[in-house]
Structure 1
Amino acid sequence: MQPWSADLAGRLEEHVVTSELLRGNPLDDPHERPVLVYVPPGYDDEPDRRYPSVYVITGFTGHVGIWRNRMPYRRPFPETADAVFASGEAPPAIVVFVDAWTAHGGSQYVDSPGTGRYHSYICDEIVPWVDGHYRTLDAPGHRAISGKSSGGYGAMITPMLRPDLFGALATHAGDALFEYCYLTEFPKCVRHLRKYDGDIRRWWDDFRSRTSFTKPEDMELLNILGMALCYSAREDGTPDLPFDPVTGVLRPEVWDRWLAWDPVRMVPGHAEAMRSQRAIWIDGGTRDEWYLDIGAQAFHRALLDAGVAEDAIHFELFDAGHGAIDYRYPLALSWLCHRIAP
């Protein structure tokens, strides 16, 4: 295994898409965004053939450039995805790597006055752009979305909200059952904020003034601030924290706004959309530090209770924590491609 590069049997193409929906966004983040599109082996040989598509979205703090990162003794996902198709393990598909990074780490793939219209950006700009530039099968039954952590969260909620576009999904350790994956972080943040007189904006100003992640509180405060911008921002973009930053007492009216975005709680209201899915892959590590294996179980049960056919779901827990589970991605990709192939 070479430590620096490898040849692909298919091809990874780089683009920049201008988004009108992200122009003038609340964080003044770029409205021109990179998009990577992988085309499988043989794409140029059959000019009349159309292909299913799989959209891949990143976790919190992720951007499209992370797909080029190479860990020791492991290949990055574009290469392991290429191997799936080159070996004939799965029917060929177009794989789209989407960027939804924000200055606060991520967008959770929702439309929010705190970050911008990232849900609409994917659904109303990126999908039509891909369909207009590549020979895709333009139908929800042939279009899937996949991601890990916050990307897994986006993969759960996007087909709920837009079943007219997405008919399959894969979620790896996706954010779910918020009382376990987020609530346990709140008291840690209260302790951290003692250094900043309970003002998370003071921490943010400090964070931006120095090298990132050089203080122990950085990741936890960034995560809570980022989620507040996505789930509980006011119309003017100001984020409301779901707890009192000095006493730690929950603010029920704000916490309820977070819970309304919990995929487990969203399923009953989007049961028909979930029943329309051709394939749903759910997995998570049994040692996940944010208890997202429990969230995966709860999401799985919510789907079954909503009437989703058991044979449409692949549910699996495996021995791992939250990190370094990229070896799961090609497994889900292969399974999805078999389900969304024409």
Structure 2
Amino acid sequence: MKISILPALSFFFVFLITCPAHSQTAPARKGTAERIKVHGKGLEGNLSGDSPDREVSVYLPPSYKTDKKRRYPVLYLLHGFTDNDAQWYGFTKHWINLPEVVDKAFADPAVREMIIVTPNAYTRFFGSFYSNSITTGNWEDFVAKELVSYIDSHYRTIPNAASRGLTGHSMGGYGTMRIGQKYPEIFSSIYLLSPCCMNTGIHANRSEEAARKIEAIQTIEEVQKADFGTKAAFATSASWSPNPSNPPFYLDLPTKNGQVQPMVMAKWAANAPLAMIDQYIPNLKKLNAIAFDAGSKDESIAASIKVLDGVLNNYKIKHTYEEYEGDHVNRIAERIEKKVLQFFSEHLSFEQPKRK
């Protein structure tokens, strides 16, 4: 009795064609995240009493530990107000698990691997606004100079501006614009995610009741228990209107005895990127790439970046601007994966430095 093996073979080949090729769809390789401490000389002696030794989260791409001779561009990512780096990197309870987001993005061959660095800018007042202040410390200098220097000396980076990018969300988006437009010799490309505090109108419409509530605060414990708006008022005052002669907070609030303080408001206006932008146009023209976006339901911020778009168009500075369907936080992980990392993959230099 002869048994034909053709039907069996036919079934076998059909099985191979129609079933998923599991061996060809290996899971995305994972990078590693570590948390280190970096000393900030310019953060020493801040009147808030915050430590100058700052936690810094570092994401190393999948190939970092296997390709020992390879160097990488670095993306500096600045977190938002009331956040810290650990909440972004999965070291504590988080709303974004950045390593997972980045691993997913790097699974796409079109997105090139880079190191990502986030300093912990959480302060006594819940955020530094990445500004120089005797009250909270010189955060602008720490990010642009001290942190960059440390990362370049301790990791296999490509240590030039063409291979450094700067991005951030909310307060971090503010910091990105503030620092990015001042230091084109350090960062070559910037991406602002829902940047806060871009214009001079910040807190200008605060009610008399809110002002009284803020002025009534007497202790740091009361600040810690206060609502978000009150915390933001103290943080911005500490960053933009510090006063070494005004304990216990060493800052000047925008109102005193219910009256708006013009000098304080002038100082705040001087720290608004849209107010200072004209003097930094030559620097912005030196940047390799500029991008910014915001959710359409994040109305005040969406309105401010629309103004930024107009300013850059007026000066004929090339950039990318998008208002997408969303609010202040609901699609940030998606934006980082789908937009931010592609942007820096395209605009940063991945050229390996030549050996001397």
TM-score interval w.r.t. the shorter chain?
A: 0.7 to 0.9
Corresponding residue for residue 24 of structure 2: none
Q: For residue 323 of structure 2, give the secondary structure of its aligned residue in structure 1.
A: strand
Q: For residue 242 of structure 2, give the secondary structure of its aligned residue in structure 1.
A: coil
Corresponding residue for residue 278 of structure 1: 288
Distance 2:289 2:327 in 1: 25
Corresponding residue for residue 328 of structure 1: 335
The one-letter code matched in structure 1 to 2:73 is P
Corresponding residue for residue 175 of structure 2: 154
CA contact (8 A) 1:114 1:236 kept: no
Q: 1:320 to 1:103 in 2, by over 3 A?
A: same
CA contact (8 A) 1:181 1:292 kept: no
Report the TM-score when normalising by structure 2: 0.82
Taking only aligned residues, the RMSD between alpha carbons, in angstroms, comes to 2.2
Residue 36 of structure 1 and its aligned partner are, at CA, apart by 1.4
Q: 1:9 aligns with which of 2, 19, 30?
A: 30
Corresponding residue for residue 252 of structure 1: 262
Identity level (%): 25
Residue 336 of structure 1 and its aligned partner are, at CA, apart by 1.6
Q: Does 1:341 align with 2:349?
A: yes
Corresponding residue for residue 101 of structure 1: 122
Distance 2:140 2:200 in 1: 24
Q: For residue 126 of structure 2, give the secondary structure of its aligned residue in structure 1.
A: coil
The one-letter code matched in structure 1 to 2:349 is A
Corresponding residue for residue 255 of structure 2: 243
CA contact (8 A) 2:31 2:63 kept: yes
Gaps of 5+ in 1: 1-5
CA contact (8 A) 1:91 1:337 kept: yes
Corresponding residue for residue 136 of structure 2: 115
Corresponding residue for residue 66 of structure 2: 45
What is the CA deviation profile of residues 16-48 of structure 1, one whole-angstrom value per residue up to 9, with x for unaligned ones?
222232222211112221111111122233322
Q: 2:233 aligns with which of 203, 224, 240?
A: 224
Corresponding residue for residue 201 of structure 1: 217
Residue 84 of structure 1 and its aligned partner are, at CA, apart by 1.1
CA contact (8 A) 1:140 1:163 kept: yes
Distance 2:184 2:306 in 1: 22
Q: 2:325 aligns with which of 319, 327, 334?
A: 319
CA contact (8 A) 2:200 2:274 kept: no
Distance 2:192 2:51 in 1: 27
Distance 1:193 1:282 in 2: 32
Distance 1:340 1:279 in 2: 9
Residue 205 of structure 1 and its aligned partner are, at CA, apart by 4.5
The one-letter code matched in structure 2 to 1:275 is K
Distance 1:148 1:18 in 2: 24
What is the CA deviation profile of residues 80-126 of structure 1, one whole-angstrom value per residue up to 9, with x for unaligned ones?
11211133231111111211111001111011122111111112211
Corresponding residue for residue 192 of structure 1: 210
Gaps of 5+ in 2: 1-26, 351-356
Q: For residue 21 of structure 1, give the secondary structure of its aligned residue in structure 2.
A: helix
The one-letter code matched in structure 2 to 1:332 is V
Q: 1:150 to 1:200 in 2, by over 3 A?
A: farther
CA contact (8 A) 2:28 2:107 kept: no
The one-letter code matched in structure 2 to 1:283 is D
CA contact (8 A) 1:156 1:263 kept: yes
Residue 7 of structure 1 and its aligned partner are, at CA, apart by 8.8
**Structure possessing the higher radius of gyration over alpha carbons:** 2
Q: 1:318 to 1:9 in 2, by over 3 A?
A: same
Distance 2:42 2:189 in 1: 25
Q: 1:54 to 1:108 in 2, by over 3 A?
A: same
Q: 1:70 to 1:20 in 2, by over 3 A?
A: closer
Q: 1:8 to 1:182 in 2, by over 3 A?
A: farther
Q: For residue 66 of structure 2, give the secondary structure of its aligned residue in structure 1.
A: coil
Q: Does 1:125 align with 2:146?
A: yes
Report the TM-score when normalising by structure 1: 0.85
The one-letter code matched in structure 2 to 1:201 is I
Residue 168 of structure 1 and its aligned partner are, at CA, apart by 0.9
Q: 1:85 to 1:114 in 2, by over 3 A?
A: same
Distance 2:257 2:331 in 1: 33
